[in-house]
């Protein structure tokens, strides 16, 4: 009798589980909102991608000024081209992370995530849980454009491969030169010339120039900064390390830069600028907008920004040029920080997707020369969204209807005006834009920085356990380093306290932080 009761109990449990599987929203059988009963055959080349129209549900993040994505002209055109309708869910970008987490937790997520900026740690977590699927086979068989990018750029594959060896998400991939170094140091060349000086080549030369700026007008702020990390981006390079990340790799060894003698020399140099009135006295108390207000009044001799014309009046911005990489008494190698070009987690396919092959073909177009132009905010449809400005087709410009502005036009046209969507940002296209201001940035970066580009630390991926431990360690260590950076520069901490500073970091677990990153780097390096 007892055995019979147990058997009946098990049968009831199985029945309940079967019922949940059939009716629950989280199973693969539910297929999101697509309503596609079976996989459809796809065309491996050209358009349409499918002969029989299908619907795929996707989650993206919408900015406040954007039109509804289903109404965007580019996405409507792409539906006609592909015969694939996208059922968009687009919460505001300000609430996107919360919405993303809620959908995942409730198993109400769609068939794909688009422009979701999924971190490597989250990619691995969702991949191990089976929520997003491995993409490497789909890339090999159905993504010729992205596969070509990986074949031509071997580090791209390494940068998007998770710690378990799978690729769970496609990135936004950039090779446009000016975007590979988001920050540039702009210095007033006119003031240098009027002082009878040459463009600085060393940090000592820079000190001389900044001092001349101060002597020109006591109201001038020779070096303007908000928090110092903007200037550190380029100036730290003169002391032998890259300022984009506290981690650098030298001869395959991970270095925590804020503990090095080189970094100490950098801080001593910035302390000298601060004490001599050459570094903005409000460096550690002002935000970017307060700094830019000073630029608007032409008070800044040197500052950091992607484009000078955003900080100083456009007509005066032509007086500013990119400060080239410098050297110092402890480093004679010219170097400039560069990113890997990878914006992680731009596109992922979930286990609810009934047509992953078609979905991969749909997104792969955006990694082609034509498709990247088509979806980006600097492209679209020729003679509708953009046009050539000369017969030789060496320059193009966007078409802006009378009475409208470019920002509003793009916001009605493509989701590329918001988050980092999956696409290939190709320099050959971007640099053909008929824009004197942007063309000047390209020229400055190509001449001054590109020959000396170096990546401080690659796009390593951590295991789940490594990520948890690293997050706990970084919270205290990074905060303390940031605090002490300010204290050393403004004189609240003496450089005689340097050994105490190092001891404190060691007690916080610095050795373990370095060890975890070394382990992750070694895996990345072997891929």
User: How much of the chain exceeds pLDDT 90, in percent?
Assistant: 87
Cα 115 to Cα 130: distance, rounded to the nearest angstrom? 20
DSSP letter for 50, please: B
Give the domain-ending residue among 411, 430, 449. 430
Q: Which of 430, 445, 465 is the last residue of a domain?
A: 430
Indicate the pLDDT class of residue 192, thresholds 50, 70 and 90: very high
What pLDDT is attached to residue 416?
Answer: 85
Considering the domain architecture, whether residues 327 and 350 belong to the same structural domain is answered as: no
**pLDDT higher than 50, residue 25:** no
Q: Do residues 85 and 424 make contact, with C-beta atoms less than 8 angstroms apart?
A: no
* Position 82 confidence tier, pLDDT thresholds 50, 70, 90: very high
Whether pTM exceeds 0.75: yes
Q: Looking at the structure, do residues 176 and 193 belong to the same domain, yes or no? A: no
Model confidence at 452: pLDDT above 70: yes
Q: 437 in a domain, yes or no?
A: no
To which residue do tokens 């789909």 refer?
A: 138
Q: Is the pLDDT of residue 131 over 80?
A: yes
452 part of a folded domain:
no
d(CA 296, CA 314): 9
Sheet holding 320-322, edge to edge: 221-223, 300-305, 184-188, 320-322
pLDDT (tens digit per residue) in 336-380: 999 999 999 999 999 999 999 999 999 999 999 999 999 988 889
Query: Does 322 share its domain with 189?
Result: yes
pLDDT of 323 > 60? The answer is yes
247 and 195 co-located in one domain: yes
214 lies in the same domain as 235: yes
- Residue 206 tokens read as 């820079």
**Residue pLDDT, tens place only, 492-525:** 999 999 999 999 999 999 999 999 999 999 999 9
| Residue 398 C-beta-side C-alpha neighbours within 13 Å | 21
Residue 271 forms part of a structural domain: yes
Say how many C-beta atoms besides its own lie within 10 A of residue 3's C-beta.
7
- Model confidence pLDDT, tens digit, residues 257-278: 999 999 999 999 999 999 999 9
| Domain identity same for 211 and 231 | yes
Same-domain check for residues 295 and 191: yes
Q: What pLDDT was estimated at residue 406?
A: 87
Q: Which two tokens stand for residue 405?
A: 């502005």
**Arithmetic mean of pLDDT, 182-196:** 97
Distance separating alpha carbons of residues 179 and 106, to the nearest angstrom: 37
Reported as a single tens digit per residue, the pLDDT across 84-107 is 999 999 999 999 999 999 999 999
Is residue 15 in some structural domain?
no
Residues 465 and 420 in one domain: no
Task: Confirm if 514 and 256 have CB atoms less than 8 A apart.
Answer: yes
pLDDT-derived band at 3, boundaries 50, 70, 90: very low
Answer whether residue 411 is part of any domain: yes
Instruction: Look at residue 50 and tell me if it is in a domain.
Output: yes
* Confidence at residue 38, expressed as pLDDT on a 0 to 100 scale: 66
Largest separation between any pair of C-alpha atoms in the chain: 104
Examine the domain organization and report whether 112 and 141 are in the same domain: yes
64 pLDDT above the threshold of 80? yes
Query: What's the confidence (pLDDT) of residue 10?
Result: 32
Give the mean pLDDT of the chain.
Answer: 91
Per-residue pLDDT, 418 = 74
For residues 61-75, give the mean pLDDT. 93
Q: What is the CATH number of the domain that holds 64?
A: 3.40.190.10
**Residue 505 included in any domain:** yes
91 and 229, same domain (yes or no): no
Query: Is the bond leading into 288 cis (omega within 30 degrees of zero)?
Result: no
Number of domains observed in the structure of the chain: 2
pLDDT at 13: 37
> Can you tell me the distance from the alpha carbon of 229 to that of 112, in angstroms, rounded to the nearest whole number?
36
Q: Say if 21 falls within a structural domain.
A: no
Q: Which range of residues forms the domain containing residue 477?
A: 184-337+457-526
Summarised one tens digit per residue, pLDDT across range 388-444 is 999 999 999 999 999 898 888 989 999 988 778 999 999 999 999 999 999 999 999
Q: Are 236 and 242 in contact (CB under 8 A)?
A: yes
Domain boundary among 430, 447, 480: 430
Mean pLDDT, residues 29-36 taken together: 40
Residues 352 and 411 in one domain: yes
Indicate if the pLDDT at residue 229 is higher than 70: yes
Q: pLDDT at position 34, please?
A: 42
> What confidence score (pLDDT) does residue 370 get?
94
What pLDDT does 364 receive? Answer: 98
The per-residue DSSP string of 234-280 comes to: HHGGGGTS-TT-SEEEETTEEEEGGGSHHHHHHHHHHHHHHHTT-B-
Reply yes or no on whether the pLDDT at 36 is more than 70. no
Same domain, 389 and 461: no
Determine what percent of the chain falls in helix, strand and coil, rounding each to the nearest 5.
Answer: 50, 15, 35
Per-residue confidence (pLDDT) for residue 389, from 0 to 100? 94
């Amino acid at each position: 009798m007892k055995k019979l009761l147990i058997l009946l109990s098990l049968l009831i449990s199985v029945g309940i589980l079967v019922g949940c599987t059939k009716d629950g929203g989280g199973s693969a059988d539910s297929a999101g909102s697509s309503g596609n009963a079976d996989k459809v055959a796809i065309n491996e080349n050209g358009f349409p991608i499918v002969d029989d129209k299908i619907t795929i549900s996707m989650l993206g993040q919408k900015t406040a000024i954007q039109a509804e994505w289903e109404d965007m002209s580019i996405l409507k055109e792409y539906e006609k081209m592909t015969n694939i309708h996208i059922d968009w869910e687009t919460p505001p970008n300000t609430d996107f992370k919360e919405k993303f987490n809620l959908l995942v937790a409730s198993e109400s997520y769609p068939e794909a995530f688009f422009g979701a900026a999924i971190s490597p740690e989250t990619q691995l977590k969702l991949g191990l849980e089976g929520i997003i699927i491995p993409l490497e086979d789909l890339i090999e068989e159905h993504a010729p454009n992205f596969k070509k990018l990986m074949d031509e750029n071997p580090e791209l594959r390494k940068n998007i491969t998770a710690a378990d060896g799978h690729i769970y998400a496609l990135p936004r991939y950039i090779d446009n030169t000016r975007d590979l170094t988001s920050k540039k140091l702009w210095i007033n060349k006119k003031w240098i010339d009027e002082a009878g000086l040459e463009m600085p080549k060393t940090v000592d030369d820079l000190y001389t120039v900044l001092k001349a700026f101060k002597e020109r007008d006591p109201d001038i702020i020779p070096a303007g900064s908000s928090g110092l990390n903007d200037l550190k981006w380029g100036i730290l390079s003169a002391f032998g390390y890259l300022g984009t990340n506290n981690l650098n790799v030298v001869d395959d060894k991970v270095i925590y830069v804020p503990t090095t003698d080189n970094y100490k020399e950098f801080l001593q140099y910035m302390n000298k600028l601060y004490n001599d009135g050459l570094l903005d006295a409000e460096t550690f108390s002002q935000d970017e907008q307060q700094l830019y207000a000073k630029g608007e009044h032409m008070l800044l001799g040197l500052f950091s920004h992607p484009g000078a014309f955003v900080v100083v009046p456009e007509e005066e911005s032509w007086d500013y040029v990119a400060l080239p990489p410098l050297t110092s008494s402890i480093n004679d190698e010219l170097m400039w920080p560069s990113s890997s070009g990878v914006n992680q987690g731009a596109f992922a396919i979930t286990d609810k997707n009934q047509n992953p092959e078609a979905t991969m073909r749909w997104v792969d177009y955006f990694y082609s020369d034509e498709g990247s132009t088509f979806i980006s905010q600097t492209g679209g449809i020729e003679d509708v969204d953009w046009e050539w400005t000369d017969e030789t087709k060496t320059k193009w410009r966007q078409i802006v209807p009378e009475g409208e502005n470019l920002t509003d036009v793009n916001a009605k046209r493509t989701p590329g005006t918001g988050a980092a969507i999956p696409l290939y940002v190709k320099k050959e296209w971007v640099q053909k834009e008929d824009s004197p201001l942007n063309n000047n940035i390209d020229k400055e970066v190509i001449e001054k920085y590109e020959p000396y580009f170096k990546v401080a630390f690659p796009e390593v991926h951590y295991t789940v356990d490594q990520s948890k431990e690293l997050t706990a360690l970084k919270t205290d260590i990074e905060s303390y380093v940031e605090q002490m950076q300010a204290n050393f520069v403004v004189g609240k901490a003496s450089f005689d306290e340097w050994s105490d500073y190092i001891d404190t970091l060691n007690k916080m677990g610095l050795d373990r932080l370095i060890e975890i990153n070394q382990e992750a780097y070694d895996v990345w390096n072997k891929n």
